[in-house]
Amino acid sequence: MGFVVRPTAPSFVANIPSTTQRNMFGGTGATPEADPEKEAQIEAAAKSMGFTVKEYKLVLKMQENLANAVNSLRVTGGSVVKGVTVELDGNSPAIHIKISITDAGKALGKAMLEKELVSALKEATDAAKKGQQTAIQKMNQDIAEELKGSP
């Protein structure tokens, strides 16, 4: 009997369409900035948050970069030798979960297998949190660099 895990994405992982996805096959070759309706929405959102348009676009860019970094992160917990490994992404809760149990893991018996599985999950979760923090630190550095270059 199997199970399926379908956690939802955390709030900071937004489904922001990339400009490549939006415009690559649109035929116009127009950038999102050339779309007056989209630009008006960005201006209104920026104003409502007390940002300039440039600052708001930076927020959107950094949010997308963070989401991509966290989604593409892969960390592993457990041990191949013990027969139990868990692979997670950087989301909390994880969206990508891969649990591997080898014959060595099955040979441990139910109680020890459960113990090793819980241990592997905790190890992978801790590594995912560290990876998420690293991605946030990089985002903060990128923001600082962008703001340093602004007049």
Predicted pLDDT of residue 13: 44
Query: Do the Cβ atoms of 23 and 30 come closer than 8 Å?
Result: yes
Q: What is the pLDDT of residues 103-122, one digit of tens each?
A: 999 999 999 999 999 999 99
- Nearest-5° angle of CA 93, CA 96, CA 101? 110
Residues of the chain with CATH 3.30.1310: 71-149
Confidence of residue 55 (pLDDT cuts 50, 70, 90): confident
Site of tokens 């489904």: 15
Q: At what angle do helices 53-72 and 110-149 cross, to 10 degrees?
A: 150
Q: Which fold has domain 71-149?
A: Ybab; Chain: A; (3.30.1310)
CA nearest 97: which of 83, 86, 105? 86
For 61-87, what is the mean pLDDT? 95
Instruction: Take residue 106 and report the two structure tokens written for it.
Output: 């099955």
More confident residue, 146 or 77: 77
Predicted pLDDT of residue 33: 55
Confidence of residue 35 (pLDDT cuts 50, 70, 90): confident
Distance between CA 149 and CA 54 in Å, rounded?
12
Mean of pLDDT over the chain: 82
Predicted pLDDT of residue 110: 95
Confidence of residue 21 (pLDDT cuts 50, 70, 90): very low
For the question of whether the overall pTM of this predicted structure is more than 0.95, the answer is no
Q: Helix/strand/coil (H, E, C) string of the chain?
A: CCCCCCCCCCCCCCCCCCHHHHHCCCCCCCCHHHCHHHHHHHHHHHHHHCCCHHHHHHHHHHHHHHHHHHHHCCEEEEECCCCEEEEECCCCCCCCEEEEECHHHHCCCHHHHHHHHHHHHHHHHHHHHHHHHHHHHHHHHHHHHHHHHCC
For 89-95, what is the mean pLDDT? 93
More confident residue, 29 or 36: 36
